[in-house]
Chain A
Amino acid sequence: MVNLSVISTIIVQAAMISALYALIAIGFTLIFGVGGVLNLAHGATITMGAFSAYYAGQFGLGVPGAVLASVTIPALFAGVLYLGMVKRLEDEPIMVMITTLVVSVVIEQAIVVFEGTTSRALPPLIQGQFSIAGSTFQNLLGAMFVVSWLLIGLLFLFVNYTKTGKGILAVSMSHKGASLVGIKSSRINLITWIIAGAFAGIAGLFLGSWLTADFAMGQAQLVLSFSIVVVGGIGSIRGSVIGAYLIGFLEIATTNLVSSSLQGLAPLVVLVVVLLVKPEGLFGREFTE
C-alpha cells in the first residue's frame, strides 16, 4: 500500500535524481540554444567524465584528482570537438548530428578496446548515509543535489551578470544581431561547448560513482537529455531544470509505484506526448533566465 513514508521517500529520492538529470541536460540545452546544433556526443562526454574520474582513481590521485579530471578532461574534449569538427560544419546541422554521433561511437569503442565492456567502480566520493522522515539515503545523492543547485546557480549568475554570459545570451537570441554589436559568435560557442563539457563531466562523475561506469552509460543519458530538453523547451535553461524535475519525479514514481522494469520508459513516453501535443516544449524558443 502507498503510505506516507513511501511518498516522502519518493519525493526525496526524486528530488535528488532530478538534480542529476538537470546536470545531465543543461550542457545539451546550452549547446543547442546557443549554437543551434544538436551535440549527439553529449552522452559520450558524460561517459568520458566518469572514466576520467576512474583513471584518476587508478593513478592514485584520490577524490580531488578524480573531481578535477572529470571536469577538465570532458571540458577540454568538448572544446577540441567544437574547434576541430563542429565549427566548420556549423551551418550544416545534420552533418553536426552525424559527425558527433560518429565521435560518440569512437569514444565508446575506444573504451571497449581499452577497458572492455565490464562496469567499473569509481573511487567513492562521499560515504555514509543520512535520513529524512524515516528513510535513509546515500550522502552521495545528497551531495549531488547540493552540487547540482550550486552549479545551476553559478551558471545563472554567469549568464546574467558577466559580460561573456551576456554574450552567450545575445548569440542565442540572434547570431546576426550579436555579430553586429561585435560579439564573436565562434568564441561564445567555444565557451558554451567548454561549459557544457564540464557540466557533462560532473554529471558523469556523479552518475559513475552512484551506479558504475561502463562504455554505454552515455546512451541512455543522451536520450534523457533529449527528452528533458524537448519537454522543457529547446534552448531554455529554466525549462531544462523544470523538465529534469518533471521527468525525474515521473520516473521515480512509476518505478516505485508501478513496476521497476519501466525504468527509462517514462521519459520517452513524456517526450513523444510533448512532441505531438506541444512541440515547442513548456518554455519554448526563448533562451532567457
Chain B
Amino acid sequence: MSDKSTSRLRLLLGQLNPLGLPLRQKIGVLGLAFLIALPLLVSLPVVGQFVVLILPASSWELGLYNVAAALFFAMFAMSWDAVSGYTGEISFGHGLFFAVGGYTSAMLNMGHGFSPWISVLGGVLLAAIAGVMIGVPALRIEGPYLSLVTLVAPLILLQVFIFMSDIFGGEQGLGNPENLVGLGFVSNYFLALGLFVAIFTLLWALTRSNTGSILTAIREDEDAVSAAGLSKAKFKIFAFVLSGAIGGLAGAAYVHTPVGSPTPSELMSVIVNVEVIIAAVLGGMGTIVGAAVGGLFVAMLPDYLNLVEFTVPVIGKSISSMSFFLFAIVTLFLLNIFPGGVLRWGIALGRRATGRDGGDEGMAADGGQSPEDAGTNPVAQTMERYQEYYDNMFGGDDE
C-alpha cells in the first residue's frame, strides 16, 4: 500500500525517485505510509500492541475513530490555509463553510431521502456559493474589517439555526444522518484518509502551480498583481470558493461518518473557528503541509491528554478533566516560541542538521524559506499587509 502512495507522489513530482526526495518530503511520505498502514499494523500480533500505545485512545477501534476525526479536522485546517494562508485574507469564521456543507448534506439526506453520496455534492455546491458570498464582500472590505465579517458570519448562521430550530435543530443539531460507509472502524478510517489525501494532493498541487504563485502574490503585494495585468478580484474569489467548497466537502463527509454529526458545536462554534486558525498557524501558515500536520496535532493533543490518568496534586483535578485547558496553554506556549509555525522551524532545523542551509533552489513557492528570512515568509507578509491597512486607517503616518 505504501507503494501506491509513493507512486502517486512520484507522479506528482515528475520522475523523481522517492529516495532522491528532500528529507522533509521523505518524512512526509513515511508519515503518509504509516497512516495508510495503520489499520493493518494494529491487527498484527505484537506490533499491534505497540501501535495502540501511540494511538490517541485506549483501544485500536477508538484510536482509528479519533485519528479519522483528526484527519477531518486537518482538512478543515487545510481549507483555511488555502485562502487565508495564501492570499493573506484572514478568515475568523471558517466554520461557516463546514456548517453549510455539513448541514446541507444532512438535510438533503434526512429530509429529502437523497443518498449521502449525492447529498455531499449538494453540500459542496452550497458551501462554494457561501464562498462567493464571503469572497465578494472581501473585495471591498480589507484586513481587520474582513476578519470581523468572517467572525460574525457563522454567528449569524447560528442565530438563524436557533431561531428556526424546528428546521435546523437549534443548538442540538440535526441528529444522525445516514453514514457513507456504515459504522466500520477501518472503512470510516480509510474514507477519512482517502479524502484527506485527495484534498491534500489537490491543494498541494494547486498552491505550487501558477495559480498558487498568484495567490501568494496577492498576499505579498496586491498592486503588483494588478500591475501585471491579473485580476486580483477573480483570484481572491477563486480562493474563497475553492476554500469554501473544500471546507464544505470535508464538513459534509464528516457528518456522514460515525465520528461526526451536524451540530453547531462540532462544525461552527467559536472554538472550531479558533482551533482551525491555531492549527494552521502552529503548523505553518501558507504551506498546506503545515495546516495538515498542525490539524492532526491540534485535534489529537486533547485526545492524548484525555488518556493521562495523573491527578494534579494541589488543585485535585485530573489531567483528562482539563485536557482542553492544557491544550490552550500548550498552544499559547508554542505560538510564542514558533511564531512562523513548527513546520518552518523544523525544516530550518533539518537543513542546518544536514548541512544544506541556504541551498535548495528547486523548491516550489511553498514559502519554505528559513524563518530568519523575515519579510518573505507568509506570516510576515500578511502582517505587513495588515500593518498597511492599519496605517491607512490611522492617518497613514508614512504618507
Contact = CB atoms under 8 A, between A and B. Distances in A.
Interface of A: 36, 38, 85, 91-95, 97-99, 101-103, 105-106, 109-110, 112-114, 172-177, 219, 223, 226-227, 230, 234-235, 259, 261-262, 264-265, 268-269, 271-272, 275-276, 279, 285
Interface string B387-399: 1001001110100
Contacts of B129: none
B121 interface: no
Contacts of A174: 394-395, 397
B156 A269 contact: yes
B325 A223 contact: no
Given A223-B155, A268-B152, A93 B387 contact: yes
Contact of A279 (B92, B145, B281, B335): B145
Contacts of A93: 144, 383, 386-387, 390
A219 B156 contact: no
Contacts of B382: 94
Interface string B269-293: 0110010011001000000000000
Interface of B is mostly: helix
Contacts of A230: 145, 148
Q: How large is the interface on B (under 10, 10 to 19, 20 to 34, 35 or more residues)?
A: 35 or more
B151 interface: yes
A50 B382 CA distance: 36
27 contacts: A38-B147, A85-B336, A92-B387, A95-B383, A97-B90, A97-B92, A98-B335, A99-B335, A102-B328, A105-B331, A109-B322, A109-B328, A112-B322, A173-B395, A223-B151, A223-B152, A226-B148, A226-B152, A230-B148, A259-B163, A261-B163, A262-B159, A262-B163, A265-B159, A275-B137, A279-B145, A285-B394
B356 interface: no
B140 interface: yes
Interface in B248-282: 270-271, 274, 277-278, 281
A110 B312 CA distance: 14
A269 B163 CA distance: 14
A38 B143 CA distance: 12
A94 B92 CA distance: 11
Nearest to B170: A261
B141 interface: yes
A112 B325 contact: yes
Interface in B296-343: 315, 317, 321-322, 324-325, 328-329, 331-332, 335-336, 339
A150 to B, nearest CB: 29
A241 to B, nearest CB: 20
Contacts of A272: 149, 152-153, 156
A275 B328 CA distance: 31
A268 B151 CA distance: 10
B274 to A, nearest CB: 5
Interface in B45-70: none
Query: Would you list the 7 A-B pairs with minimal beta carbon distance, nearest first?
Result: A109-B325, A113-B322, A106-B328, A105-B328, A92-B383, A265-B159, A268-B156
A272 to B, nearest CB: 6
A36 B151 CA distance: 18
A235 B200 CA distance: 41
Interface in B170-221: none
Given A110-B325, A223-B152, A262-B163, A105 B274 contact: yes
